Structure 1
Amino acid sequence: MWGILLLGGAAAVTVWWAGLLVLHDEKRRRLPDHLTLPAALGAALGALLTEPALLLGGLGWAGAYLAGGILGRGIGGGDVKLALSLGVVAAAAGGGAGVFAAAATAGAVTAARGVLARGKAVPHGPSMLVGALSVVVFDTWRGALAPAVGLP
C-alpha cells in the first residue's frame, strides 16, 4: 500500500513540476534554474545510485543541446538542464532509442508549433516534456500489452 501512495505522490509532484515549467516557459520564454537545476541534479544522482548507464541518456541529450546552443541559437541553458533530467527518464523508459525518440519528438512538436504560430518563436521546454512523456507512455503501454500479445 505504501508503494502505491509513494508512486502517486511522486506522480503528483512530477505533474506539478512539469506544469510550472510549461507555464513559466510559455510566459517568459525561459526555464528557470530553480525548476531545472534540482531536477537535473536529482536525475543524475538517482541514475548514479541505481543504474549509472542511464546517465548517458541525460548527458547525450544535454550534450547535443549544449553543442546546438553554442553553434546556433534557440537552445538555452534551461533547455540543456531540462534535457539532462528528461534524458535520464527517457533512457530508463526506452534506452538510447527512447532518448532519441524523445528528442526527435520534441523537435517535431516545436517545429509544428512554429508553423502554427506563423513563424513566431515558440518555447521548446513544453515540447521536451511532451517528447519524454510520449516515450514513458509508450514504454508503459508496451509493457502492459506485451504479455497479452506474446511480445518479449
Structure 2
Amino acid sequence: MWVLGGAVAVTVCWAVALLLVDEKRRRLPDLLTLPAAAGAAFGAAVTDPILLLGGLGWAGLYLLLGVSFGGVGGGDVKLGLSLGILAAAAGGTAAWFVAVLGASVVTVLRGALTRRKAVAHGPSMLLSTAFAVGMWFGA
C-alpha cells in the first residue's frame, strides 16, 4: 500500500508545481506536461488501452478549440492528455465529463470572481480532475 501513497505524493507535488507555474507565468512547461502525458499514455496502453480515449478526447477537444478559437495553449492540450486518462481510469465516462466540464466552470468562476478577462486554465483542470477522481474513490 505504501507504493500507492508514494504515487499519490508524487502526483500531488507535480500538480502543485504545475499550478504554481501556470498561475505565475500563465504557461504549462513541457518539462512537466510531456513526461506526464507520455507516462499516462504508456500506462494506459499497457494496462487498459481504452483509457487512451479519455486522454485523446480531452486533448483533442482542446486542440480543436485552440485552433478554432484560440485561448487554449499547447500546455493545456498536453495536460488534457494525462488528466483525461486519469479521470477515465478513476470513474470512466462520468468522471471524464465531470473533469472536463468542471475545468471550464472553475475557469469561468475564477475569471468572474477576480474580474480578469484571462486566467490560467491549468489550475482549473487540475482541481476539477482531483474532484472527479475523489468522487469515485470516496475521498
**Map of 1:102-121 to 2, 5 A cutoff?**
102-121=99-118
User: SS at 2:118's partner residue?
Assistant: coil
Tell me the equivalent position of 2:94. 97
After superposition, residues 3-82 of structure 1 pair within 5 angstroms as 4-82=1-79
How far is the alpha carbon of 1:56 from its aligned partner? 0.3
Consecutive unaligned residues of structure 2, counting only runs of 5 or more, are none
1:125 corresponding residue in structure 2: 122
Q: Which runs of 4+ in 1 moved over 6 A?
A: none
Q: Which structure has the larger Rg over C-alpha atoms?
A: 1
CA distance in 2: counterparts of 1:39 and 1:76, whole angstroms:
17
User: Offset of 1:119 from its aligned partner?
Assistant: 3.1
Question: Share of identical aligned residues, percent?
Answer: 62
Amino acid at match of 1:114: G
Gaps of 5+ in 1: 145-152
With the length of structure 1 as denominator, give the TM-score of the two structures: 0.89
CA RMSD of aligned residues (A): 1.0
CA distance in structure 1 between the aligned counterparts of 2:111 and 2:29, rounded to whole angstroms:
22
- Tell me: higher relative CO, structure 1 or 2? Use CA pairs within 8 A at least 6 residues apart: 2
